[in-house]
C-alpha cells in the first residue's frame, strides 16, 4: 500500500537536550490538534468521500501526517536523549517518567493521553472537510506558538517546515471543499 523511505521528510538533528521543549512538542504528537489525530481523522474519512479525488487527497494527506508523527517522535526523542530522573522531575515530566520512563507516549503538553474523541467522521464530505480545514488551521496556530517558545535553530527548522505543510493541507482541503460544494454535496 505504501512505499516507505527510511528518511524523514525534513532532516532532524537536535544537538541540545531540552526537556521543557520536549514536554511542549508532545502536544503536536498526541494532542487534540496534533498530527496523530489528523492522520487518523483523514485516513478514516477517506472511505466516505464521494469519489476517487477525495479518497486520494485524504489518503495522501493522512499518510503525510503519519510522517509528521515520525518527525515529532524523532524531535522529542532527541530532546529527551540522556535525560536523568532529576532532569525529568525538574522539567515537570516526573509523572511521564513514572509511567513511561523516557519512552514516547502520545499526550498533549499537559499529559492528557491521546483519544479518538479528538476527531470526528460524519460521512458528510462537506462537514468532514470543514472540520479538516479547521484542524489544519489549529495545527498551524499551535506550531506558531511552539515556534515562539524556542530560539534553537535545530528545533525551529523542522517546526517552520511542519507549519508550512499545515498551510498546504489547508489549501488542498479548501480546494476539495469548493469542488464538492459546486457538485452539490
Per-residue pLDDT, 119: 87
Per-residue pLDDT, 4: 76
The answer to whether the beta carbons of residues 28 and 72 sit under 8 Å apart is yes
Per-residue pLDDT, 1: 61
1 vs 108, residue with greater confidence:
108
**Measured distance CA(163)–CA(10) in Å, rounded:** 12
Domains and CATH numbers, the chain: 19-183 (1.20.1260.10)
Per-residue pLDDT, 6: 83
Helix, strand counts (H, E) of the chain: 7, 0
Per-residue pLDDT, 93: 95
pLDDT at residue 2 greater than cutoff 70: no
Per-residue pLDDT, 125: 97
Strand partners, 107: 113
Name all contacts of 47-51 with Cβ < 8 Å and 24+ positions apart. Answer: 48/121, 48/123, 48/125, 48/128, 49/125, 50/125, 50/180, 50/183, 50/185
Average pLDDT for the chain: 96
pLDDT digits (tens, 9 = 90+) for 29-71: 999 999 999 999 999 999 999 999 999 999 999 999 999 999 9
The answer to whether the beta carbons of residues 145 and 27 sit under 8 Å apart is no
pLDDT at residue 120 greater than cutoff 90: no
Per-residue pLDDT, 5: 76
119 vs 71, residue with greater confidence:
71
pLDDT at residue 14 greater than cutoff 70: yes
Amino acid at each position: 500500500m505504501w512505499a516507505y523511505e527510511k528518511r524523514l521528510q525534513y532532516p532532524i538533528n537536535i544537538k541540545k537536550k531540552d526537556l521543557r521543549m520536549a514536554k511542549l512538542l508532545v502536544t503536536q504528537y498526541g494532542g487534540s490538534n496534533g498530527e496523530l489525530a489528523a492522520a487518523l481523522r483523514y485516513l478514516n474519512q477517506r472511505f466516505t468521500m464521494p469519489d476517487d479525488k477525495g479518497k486520494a487527497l485524504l489518503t495522501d494527506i493522512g499518510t503525510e501526517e503519519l510522517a509528521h508523527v515520525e518527525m515529532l517522535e524523532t524531535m522529542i526523542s532527541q530532546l529527551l536523549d540522556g535525560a536523568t530522573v532529576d532532569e525529568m522531575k525538574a522539567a515537570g515530566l516526573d509523572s511521564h517518567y513514572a509511567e513511561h520512563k523516557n519512552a514516547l507516549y502520545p499526550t498533549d503538553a499537559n499529559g492528557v493521553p491521546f483519544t479518538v474523541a479528538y476527531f470526528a467522521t460524519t460521512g458528510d464530505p462537506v462537514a468532514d472537510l470543514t472540520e479538516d480545514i479547521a484542524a489544519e488551521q489549529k495545527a498551524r496556530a499551535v506550531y506558531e506558538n511552539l515556534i515562539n517558545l524556542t530560539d534553537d535553530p535545530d528545533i525551529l527548522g523542522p517546526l517552520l517546515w511542519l507549519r508550512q505543510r499545515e498551510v498546504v493541507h489547508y489549501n488542498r482541503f479548501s480546494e476539495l471543499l469548493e469542488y464538492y460544494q459546486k457538485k452539490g454535496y
